[in-house]
Structure 1
Amino acid sequence: MSSSQLRRFPRRRTSVGASRAFVAQILREWQLTDLIDDIQLCASELTTNALLHGVPPGREFAVRLDLTDDLVRLAVRDSGDGKPEMQHADDSSCSGRGLFLVGELAADFGVDHHVVGKTVWAAFKRPPTP
């Protein structure tokens, strides 16, 4: 079984919450409710990074979920030229933990660079079906 869902969001702060809702809706449709919390948190981090560092004014970003037999892949694509890198924030930092959290929660994650923009993705192991 494989499936994909994609939605575009405007460059607005409210798009972070909208992307979380989109992720939860799709995971419910796919009956993968055990993954909602982790994938929603990663969607928040990746979409926030896209808004802060990646999406030029007037442009959109896209959130995509792909389902395979083994994995759920979350991908956030923007058209900016920011270079995502993992930071090691200390306990007093208010920001800088996004990619670190994604790395801790996901089975794998990475960045695909395109001619215009990039896709930051995270893959999650799909729980075994009973």
Structure 2
Amino acid sequence: MSTRARPIATRLASDPPFAVAYRLPSDSLSAGRAREALRHQLHIWCIAGEPACSAELLLSELVTNAVRAQAPPAPEIGVRFTLSDGLLRLEVRDASDELPVVNQAEEDEECGRGLVLVDALASGWGVDRDGIGKIVWAELAVSDASAPRPPLSAPHRP
């Protein structure tokens, strides 16, 4: 038996991204369901405050657009959240080939401002076509500053 130490395994330069995905019905309740799933995941990832609020708004707009874009409505849409290197990525997949368009809505119009909000809040956004339809994504920079902090307490004494 050898007394030589075994080499330590080398670590990858960066950790692989954290990711979670859901399938939701393609209906008017899906934006709320997606926000609930995102809130749960953001809590796990310790993302709170303004980045969390912005992420919820971004996701809500993307899901609403996906549900409205499908004619005839497909039975479901997909949502995916990833976190890697301080960047939160929100993806919404639908079966429509129709690309999203940034509209300049008039003051009295109730719809048409969603992608303007996405463009203003996101660090970046875009569309990727797949074999079925498309994935509309938005990215948001998040940092350790957004993570909740434990309350200050007396120093722990061993």
Fold conserved (TM > 0.5)? yes
Question: Does the C-alpha gap of structure 1 residues 127 and 119 become closer, same or farther in structure 2, counting only changes over 3 Å?
Answer: same
Question: Does the C-alpha gap of structure 1 residues 81 and 107 become closer, same or farther in structure 2, counting only changes over 3 Å?
Answer: same
Q: CA offset at residue 45 of structure 1?
A: 0.7
Query: 2:86 — aligned with what?
Result: 70
TM-score normalised to structure 1 length: 0.92
Match for residue 18 of structure 1 among 21, 28, 33: 33
Instruction: Give 1 or 2 for the bigger CA radius of gyration.
Output: 2
Runs of 4+ with deviation above 4 angstroms:
none
Instruction: Give me the CA root mean square deviation.
Output: 1.6
The within-5 A match list for 1:1-130 is: 1=15, 2-34=17-49, 35-54=51-70, 56-128=72-144
C-alpha separation between the residues in 2 aligned to 1:55 and 1:37?
30
Q: Secondary structure at the match of 2:36?
A: helix
Name the count of aligned residue pairs.
130
Question: Does the C-alpha gap of structure 1 residues 80 and 21 become closer, same or farther in structure 2, counting only changes over 3 Å?
Answer: same
Q: CA offset at residue 98 of structure 1?
A: 0.6
Unaligned runs of 5+ in 1: none
C-alpha separation between the residues in 1 aligned to 2:97 and 2:72?
9
Q: Deviations over 1:28-80 (max 9, x none)?
A: 11001132211111111111111111374342111100100120000000112
**Fraction of identical pairs, as percent:** 35
Q: Secondary structure at the match of 1:93?
A: coil
TM-score normalised to structure 2 length: 0.77
Question: Does the C-alpha gap of structure 1 residues 89 and 52 become closer, same or farther in structure 2, counting only changes over 3 Å?
Answer: same
